[in-house]
Amino acid sequence: MSDNKWWEEIQNEKYDLPVDYDKLGWFERRAVREQYVIEQQNMCFYCDERLDQEAPERIREMRIDLDLFPPNFLKHPIHLQHCHKTGMTEGAVHCHCNAVMWQYEGR
């Protein structure tokens, strides 16, 4: 059995979305995020722009208070958005869109 067999199994698993974010390990969160990217046809859940490009300028221009976020929050370009009230995933978003949703909209 390959050392990466568990990762191959996770990557091949299709989740019945949405799922409870808080019950996922980091590797499952990554697989769920990737599944959302595919199902959303590479479009951001929030701004409806391509996820393989930067968030639109109107989003990037908004002031982000990095003290509100974990270290390296903006390091990873695509995030898995989830509802902080229910814990359920909502979709894949640009890191800047995720910050705007959290800081300005409480999502």
In tens digits, the chain (107 residues) has pLDDT values of 456 665 565 556 789 999 999 999 998 999 999 999 999 999 999 999 999 999 999 999 999 999 999 999 999 999 999 998 999 999 999 999 999 999 999 88
Q: What is the pLDDT of residue 107?
A: 85
Q: What is the pLDDT of residue 1?
A: 44
Burial class (CB in 10 A: 0-12, 13-18, 19+), 82: buried
Q: What is the pLDDT of residue 3?
A: 60
CATH number, domain of 19, equals 3.40.1800
Cα 2 → chain centroid:
28
| pTM, full prediction | 0.84
Q: What is the pLDDT of residue 14?
A: 87
Give the chain's domain count: 1
Q: What is the pLDDT of residue 101?
A: 95
d(CA 5, CA 28): 14
Q: Which domain holds residue 71?
A: 5-105
d(CA 92, CA 60): 17
